[in-house]
């Protein structure tokens, strides 16, 4: 068994919610424990509002849990769902350099990392483009480039397929596969199992803030995923009438 690099024990996150009936506490994460091991790709799924982004934010140290223990031994980079909020530079080159300027690196090393990140994400041709005019898929790849340049050993992808077309999804998956082969530890948050299930080493499901499944992807397929509002991915389309999500 490889080294445990992230350990969460009995994490609860409570928010105060007010409604017509008064004010009450809402448990957005409810007693979640989880370990992440070096080099694995953990697919975290669950319906909208199940707690995926919150869990990730706690792991990355962006928010604190209301109770429970968090131990994270390696630095985590996040590719956010909304690329526009993550891109700060006027051009891809400037954006990638933003992070690198904060950690004092010799200029040669900075440029080496910049070139590598642009190459790996297929953005070399767009390095001097206006970041705003990049397509959705290119913006997502730019966010990945920025994280790669920082050499974070753990990379969290929050809904990386949101708004991407077929080609965009294929490109993101190719990148994730490459990172996985290079022994990065990857947390992939998605409810679109048909796009990424084969990438997973382990599968975890959140349902209304509770961890309801944590195991092998093969066993995950035998669960009643619909009960957790997740579309079972093993659907086959063979005729026109099949082409509808029901
Ligand atoms: N700052 C906050 N204040 C109050 N409630 C919050 C806050 N952040 C998250 N929540 C609530 O916690 C729950 C879990 O949110 P979270 O963003 O983790 O869901 P998610 O699984 O990432 O959903 P999605 O698939 O839509 O991205 C939601 O009900 C959300 O409204
Ligand atoms: Mg989310």
What distance in angstroms lies between residue 60's CA and the mean position of ligand 2's atoms? 14
Vertex 233 angle, CA 6 and 223, to 5°: 65
- Expressed in angstroms and rounded, the spacing between residue 55 Cα and the centre of ligand 2 is 9
Whether residue 132 contacts residue 102, with contact meaning beta carbons closer than 8 Å, is answered with no
The pLDDT tens digits of the residues spanning 200-236 come to 999 999 999 999 999 999 999 999 999 999 999 998 8
164 in Cβ contact with 136 (< 8 Å)? yes
Span 115-162, pLDDT tens digits:
999 999 999 999 999 999 999 889 999 999 999 999 999 999 999 999
pLDDT of residue 92: 97
Average pLDDT on 44-52 reads 97
Pair 78, 147: CB distance under 8 Å:
yes
- From the centroid of its chain, how far is CA 167? 19
The pLDDT assigned to 237 comes to 86
Res 91: pLDDT: 97
| CA–CA dist 23, 246 (Å, integer) | 36
Task: Provide the mean pLDDT of the chain.
Answer: 94
Tell me: the pLDDT tens digits for 93-105? 999 999 898 888 8
Please identify, in words, the CATH class of the domain defined by 40-63+75-229. alpha beta
Closest atom, ligand 1, to C-alpha of 189: 22
Pocket of ligand 1 (CB under 6 A): 15, 28, 46, 48-54, 191
Give me the pLDDT at residue 228, please.
97
Q: Where are the domains of the chain?
A: 40-63+75-229
Is the pLDDT at 246 greater than 80? The verdict is no
Q: How far is the CA of 112 from the centre of ligand 2 (A)?
A: 33
pLDDT at 244: 83
pLDDT given for residue 163 in this prediction: 85
- Residues within 5 Å of ion ligand 2, judged at the Cβ atom: 52-53
Q: What are phi and psi of 144, to 5 degrees?
A: -65, -40
Nearest atom of ligand 1 to the alpha carbon of 13: 12
| Candidate of 23, 24, 51 to mutate for ligand 1, largest count of ligand atoms within 8 Å of Cβ | 51
pLDDT band at 1 (very low <50, low <70, confident <90, very high): low
**pTM: predicted TM-score of the whole model, two decimal places:** 0.94
pLDDT, average across residues 72-82: 94
pLDDT in tens, 162-213: 988 898 899 899 999 999 999 999 999 999 999 999 999 999 999 999 999 9
**In sequence order, what are the residues at sequence separation of 6 or more whose Cβ sits closer than 8 angstroms to the Cβ of residue 115?**
none
Neighbours of 196 (CB within 10 A): 21
- What's the CA-to-centroid distance between 11 and ligand 1, angstroms? 15
For the CA of 57, the nearest atom of ligand 1: 18
Instruction: Output the pLDDT for position 32.
Output: 98
Given strand 185-189, what is the order of strands in its sheet? 76-79, 154-158, 185-189, 41-45, 202-207, 210-215
**Contact predicate 153/72, CB 8 Å:** no
> How far, in Å, is the centroid of ligand 1 from the Cα of 49?
5
Q: What is the pLDDT of residues 10-19, one digit of tens each?
A: 999 999 988 8
């Amino acid at each position: 068994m490889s080294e445990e690099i992230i350990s969460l024990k009995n994490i609860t996150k409570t928010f105060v919610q007010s409604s017509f009936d008064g004010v009450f506490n809402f448990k957005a994460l409810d007693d979640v424990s989880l370990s992440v091991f070096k080099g694995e790709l953990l697919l975290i799924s669950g319906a909208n509002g199940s707690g995926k982004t919150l869990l990730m934010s706690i792991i990355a140290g962006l928010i604190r849990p209301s109770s429970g223990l968090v131990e994270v031994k390696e630095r985590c980079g996040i590719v956010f769902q909304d690329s526009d909020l993550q891109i700060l530079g006027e051009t891809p080159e400037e954006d990638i350099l933003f992070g690198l300027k904060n950690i004092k690196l010799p200029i040669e090393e900075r440029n080496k990392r910049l070139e590598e990140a642009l190459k790996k994400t297929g953005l070399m041709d767009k390095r001097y483009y206006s970041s705003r005019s990049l397509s959705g898929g290119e913006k997502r790849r730019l966010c990945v480039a920025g994280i790669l340049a920082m050499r974070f050993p753990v990379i969290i992808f929050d809904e990386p397929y949101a708004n991407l077309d077929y080609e965009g999804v294929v490109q993101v998956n190719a990148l994730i596969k490459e990172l996985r082969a290079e022994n990065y530890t990857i947390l992939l948050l998605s409810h679109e199992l048909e796009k990424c299930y084969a990438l997973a080493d382990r599968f975890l499901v959140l349902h209304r803030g509770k961890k309801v499944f944590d195991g092998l992807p093969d066993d995950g397929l035998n669960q009643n995923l619909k009960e957790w509002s997740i579309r079972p991915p093993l659907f086959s389309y063979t005729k026109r009438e099949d082409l509808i999500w029901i």
